[in-house]
Amino acid sequence: MAEAGGGGFPLPPMRLRRSLLFVPGSTPARIPKAVASGADGVILDLEDAVPPPRKEAARAAIVAALRAVEFRGRERIVRVNALDTPWGADDLAAVVPAVPDALVLPKVSAVEDVTQADAEVSRLERAAGLVAGTVRFHLLVETVTGILDARELARSSPRNAALLYGAGDLVRETRGRLVPSRATELYALSHVLFAARAAGLDAIDSPCFTLDDAAGLEAHTRFGAELGYDGKAVIHPKQVEVANRLFSPSAEAIAEARQTLEAYAQAQAAGAGALALEGRFIDAVHVTTARETLARARLAGLA
């Protein structure tokens, strides 16, 4: 829900990013279905999901969708190919004038990966007559170097809105295994989360790659939510409901937040800065958390 500011860029509206649904650009018929899925954002993919012979056709389809499809307020995101590939520069040249809300920059491993993309997007915005900073960045942190340097990456551009943790490519580099408990991911998950929070960015969890295990999806998603992530990348519409539910404040959390704010207001009026409420110690930190909970609930239409 956070947005990065600075650099003279205007802050965009606060967004929920509970669920960001990937759609391959090579299957444009799925784009309206993705919009109808209820996902908070749609990631139109030009990278790993599209084989090289279909890159150009997928790029044209995504540009057409950005110009013609009604996204109903969903965040319109494009995962471009990296600039060090044969397709990256052409992706930016075609996509930026179509004004997506954000770009996913894949496999970012060095600050230079981001600053180079930032400079090129800035040039393309000027050429298209767009306000500087119109297009934001979601940095896909999915390499060993990227994990280790996540804090520097998070601060590398005022365009940055989120860090997206990518387990698939990372585990290939580490030679580890993805296990149901997610114990093998805990360090990387935590490191990306802390880097995002230190820079005031959202943190988005990796997809669950198992499609036919409802209990496994629930556990996978809950792990990221309880760790503190803001949302999750999803790869199938049937994963959206679980992500939206687990990354939204529960009815109990909303009621507790309201109760906390009411009690704290009464305590302040009486000249107290802290209080005990039903066996819980309440001070300014808990008040901030309660306000953030209610802000997320309002964005989700729950309060």
pLDDT in tens, 110-162: 999 999 999 999 999 999 999 999 999 999 999 999 999 999 999 999 999 99
Domain residue spans of the chain? 19-246, 251-299
Assessment of whether the complete model's pTM goes beyond 0.85? yes
**Mean pLDDT value across residues 299-303:** 85
Q: What are phi and psi of 19, to 5 degrees?
A: -140, 125
Most confident of 185-199, 253-267, 280-294: 185-199
**Mean pLDDT value across residues 39-61:** 97
User: Where in 32-184 does DSSP place strands (E)?
Assistant: 41-45, 75-79, 102-105, 136-141, 160-165
- The CA R_g of the chain, rounded to the nearest whole Å, is 20
> 84, exposed or middle or buried, with CB in 10 Å at 0-12, 13-18, 19+?
exposed
Q: How far apart are CA 125 and CA 138, in angstroms?
A: 17
What pLDDT band is residue 221 in, cutting at 50, 70 and 90?
Answer: very high
Q: How far apart are CA 206 and CA 184, in angstroms?
A: 13
- Measured between its terminal Cα atoms, the distance across the chain in Å is 16
What pLDDT band is residue 7 in, cutting at 50, 70 and 90?
Answer: low
| Residue 11 pLDDT | 64
Architecture per CATH, domain 19-246, reads as Alpha-Beta Barrel (3.20)
Structure tokens at 281: 């110690």
**Mean pLDDT value across residues 244-260:** 91
